[in-house]
Amino acid sequence: MKRIYILAVAALIGLVAVFALPATALAPAAGTAGIDPGLKEELWTIHTQHRLDRFDGNVEAAGEAIAALERYGYETSGLSATVDDISGHRDSLATALKDKDREELRSINKELFSLWKDFRQETKQLLEGE
């Protein structure tokens, strides 16, 4: 039973991590001069909103996973601190998306990737009793 629970939490965490990465996937590429500027702007606006929605959803899912772990008696202060660190990047992510700052987006994505990796590792260690 514990094994199934561990796999379910690991799957949730993996899903969170998948959506944490592609903030520059729809960034306007070089050589798109023939595309209507209004269309590029509208697509970027759509991308920005969905990226922030995914970010918020991932943080919410992590919070719910932490709450479930707490209900089962696990000490989650380390996980909570990691999620707080992740949450702290939301404003800078929103600003970088608004400004279309590719370098800043790369930097934020790198940091978020590392933090989500830490969250996954901490959760795995917690569930394995390390």
The CA distance from 98 to 74, in Å, is: 39
- Which range is least confidently modeled, 9-13, 16-20, 32-36, 100-104? 16-20
The CA distance from 115 to 45, in Å, is: 26
- By the 8 A CB rule, do 85 and 116 touch? no
The CA distance from 97 to 47, in Å, is: 9
Over the stretch 79-103, which tens digit does the pLDDT of each residue have? 999 999 999 999 999 999 999 999 9
How distant is the alpha carbon of residue 54 from its chain centre? 7
Residue 96's H or E segment, with its range, is: helix 90-99
Over the stretch 21-80, which tens digit does the pLDDT of each residue have? 454 444 555 566 688 999 999 999 999 999 999 999 999 999 999 999 999 999 999 999
What pLDDT does residue 12 have? 62
**Taking Cα atoms as reference points, which of 9, 17, 29, 8 lies closest to residue 54?**
17
What pLDDT does residue 19 have? 47
Neighbour count for residue 113 (Cβ, 10 Å): 13
The CA distance from 64 to 119, in Å, is: 13
